[in-house]
Structure formats: structure tokens, C-alpha cells
Amino acid sequence: MYIIIPMVELSQKIQIAKIVAKDQIYKVQEKWQTSKSGKNSLTKDPAYNAANPNHFIPMMDEDRYSDRSDAFDKIISATHKHFWDPNDKKYIDFDIPFDIENENIVDPEGPFGIELQIPSIREKLSKHQLIKLNNESFRFVLSQILHGEQAALSLSASLCHVLRDPGAQEYAANQTREEARHVAGFTKYIQARWGSPYKVGPTLGRVANEIVSSDLVYKKIIGMQMMIEGLAMGAFAMAYENTNDPVLKTLLKYTMSDEAFHHKFGKIWADRTVPKLTKKEHIKVEDWAEKIFVELLFNLVNPFEKKHVYSCVGLDHKWVDQEFHKYIDQGEVIKDEMKNQNNIFRVLVKTLLKAHIITDRTRATYAEFVNMDELNNESDTVAGQEIADQGVSALSEINKLKKTA
């Protein structure tokens, strides 16, 4: 008895000493991480201050909770107005059939059926094969949209993890939830029509990986909130105009009602950041945006990205590529398509121009495909805003009825 008690006391003292030592190490870590937290690269507004993604301690700073910007309150409070649930048939019923074997989901003469405009390709295929190629080509487009939505979901979650401003963090949390329902919605639609999506194209996959994996807030916001979200709004608006499937029309309308708000988050960043950039910093941002634009522009329409699509109707992607370049001047096609107000790349250029990211240094890159003066004179209204507004109105009515039911 006299031996055991001192040993128990000694064991307790050792345990306490270990805890005290760990607490001291934590205090050193706290001091170190706090000294490194705050301004991320090119951050000019405290609302976008960010912690190191590997440092969580600064997110528990007691003074952080009350240091909240009101810049995002308006779009946060509007969240309930455009709520929808892809698993609730009161919003959208994915079981409504569509004869995918005999009907085109989108207009074959529209922007998504560019291969069908090539005579040598049309001549090789039967009427049934032409429909299949058109629908499979659009399946590829929707698959890339699905992968893009997953990238937006992961990126929003990563912003939520590092943004120190509670208002910015709450907005990022809201967007994460909304992107999750987009992933669910497009997954259910693709499953209903084809069973499964196509693999992500190497260009989009590489760009998305670079943006989502970056520790730099400016790359995340320009890359996703402004560029890829801008592309998405254009793609959704074009698909909405060209689709014959009422289920897809509903899905696009509801998704756009969310995306229009996501685009605003990027605009707030641009308004608060770009005017304060030094010349060197602006060049850095401008050159990076130009690089991403060029890569997306020329590779998303590359036949090599769609070789699995062509093989489903017995076409070799290398032959398609040859015929594509033989009959179509890619630059002229892009210029012609960019005359459409909702063209995905036109929307992207307009976003960068209105954000004052494009200057005379890189203007020529974009002017090769679109009239920059005409674009600059247009309103700031985002592509598809009218459709998004219709979606918000329809959802408000559905949600109102659900509350009273």
C-alpha cells in the first residue's frame, strides 16, 4: 500500500507534465500561425483575408468572430429565395421520359452540334447515328459541366476553410451547399438520360485542379468565381435556348438562379481588389487570366477531347480532327459564335473586361475573337440573368406553397 500510492501519484504527475508540455507547444504554434495569418497573396480588402490552409488555430482567434464584413449579407440573405432540392419532385422530376434514341436533346444546328455542320461527317452517318452523335456530344458537354460543378463545390469548401471574415466564410458555406445540389442535379439528369457521365477532359481537369489546389485566394476567385462560373452561365443560357427537353430546361433555370449569385461574389472581389493592385500585381493577374482563357478557348473544342464520343458512332477522332480543320476555320467559327450574347467565351471576356482585369497589354488576345468596344459598352448584366430571375420567381412560389402545405 505504501509503495503503490506514491507510484500512482508519480504517474499522475508525469501525465500532467505531458499535458502542460503539449499546451506550451500549442501556445508556440498559436503565436507562429497567427503571425503568418491574414493577408493572402494580392489581398487588398480585409474581407478576403485568409489563413494558411494548413493552419487552423487562427480561425479560433476570439477577435475574428466579431470582425465581420457586411459586403456579403445581401447575397447571403437571398439564399432562401432560390432554394431547391433535386431530390424533391415538387421542384424537378427526373423520371419524366425523353426519347433519346429518336429525338435531339439540343438543336443539332446550334452551338453544341458543330461536328454535324461538316458535310463529310454528315454523309458518313445515318439519321439515327446523327441523333446519337448529337446527343452523345451534348452528354460530353454536360459531363464537363458536372465536373466543373464538382470543382466549384470543392473550391467553395476550401474557401470556407481559410477565409477569416465570418461573412465571407458564411457566403462560401452557402455556395458549397448550392454547388452540392448542382452536382446532385446534373448527376441525376445524366443518369436518367445516359446512365453515367463521360470522363473529365484533360484541359478542364488540369485547369480545375490548378485552381482548386491553389493556396492563393485570387486564383480561386478569378479562376472559379469569375472565369469558370462565367463560362457556366453562358453554357447554361445557350443550352436553355437550344434544348428540347423540359426536364433539362428546369434544371438549367434553377441552377442559373444560384449561379447568378455566385458570380456576384467574384464581382465584389474585383471591385474591392483590382483598383488597388500595383502595376506588377495587375500584370500577374492579367497574364494568368489570359493564359487560362486561351487554354480553355482552344482545347474545349478540340476533337481529341471527344474521341470517346466519336467512337460511339464508328468515327475515328483523328479523322474527325482532319475534317474539322478542313471545313471549319476555328477562329472564324469562334468569332461567329461570339456574336451570340450568351456565348460562353464572350461571357468570359466580358467578365474580365468589366472587372478591369484586361488592359491594352492583353486586349489583342481577346479582340481577335470579339469586338471589345462593343462589349465594353454593354451593361454589366450577367448572361442568362433573365432566365435566372425566372428561376428565382418560380422557386419563390414553390417554396411559398411548401410552407403553407
What are 38's strand-pairing partners? 50
So what's the pLDDT on residue 328? 65
Q: What is the mean pLDDT of each run of 10 residues along the chain (405 residues)?
A: 59 86 88 73 83 88 92 90 94 97 94 84 94 96 94 94 93 95 98 96 90 89 84 88 96 93 84 92 93 78 81 92 75 54 75 92 89 84 83 90 75
So what's the pLDDT on residue 356? 93
So what's the pLDDT on residue 309? 92
Exposure b/e, 248-272, CB count within 10 A at least 16 = b:
bebbbbbbbbbbbbbbbbbbbbbeb
Contacts of 211 (CB under 8 A, 6+ apart): 151, 155, 219, 220, 223, 224, 228
Position of cell 426536364? 247
Q: Give me the sign of the Cα torsion angle 66, 72, 77, 80.
A: negative
So what's the pLDDT on residue 5? 52
Judge whether 399 and 322 are in contact, CB under 8 Å.
no
So what's the pLDDT on residue 303? 73
Judge whether 52 and 158 are in contact, CB under 8 Å.
no
So what's the pLDDT on residue 267? 84
How far is the C-alpha of 277 from the C-alpha of 359, rounded, in Å?
Answer: 13
So what's the pLDDT on residue 101? 95
So what's the pLDDT on residue 136? 96
Question: Which superfamily does CATH assign the domain made up of 77-404 to?
Answer: Ribonucleotide Reductase, subunit A (1.10.620.20)
Query: Considering the entire predicted model, what is its pTM?
Result: 0.90
Q: What are the helix (H) ranges across 163-213?
A: 166-193, 202-213
**SS3 per-residue string spanning 92-138:** CCCCCCCCCCCCCCECCCCCCCHHHHCHHHHHHCCHHHHHHHHHHHH
How far is the C-alpha of 214 from the C-alpha of 205, rounded, in Å?
Answer: 14
So what's the pLDDT on residue 230? 79
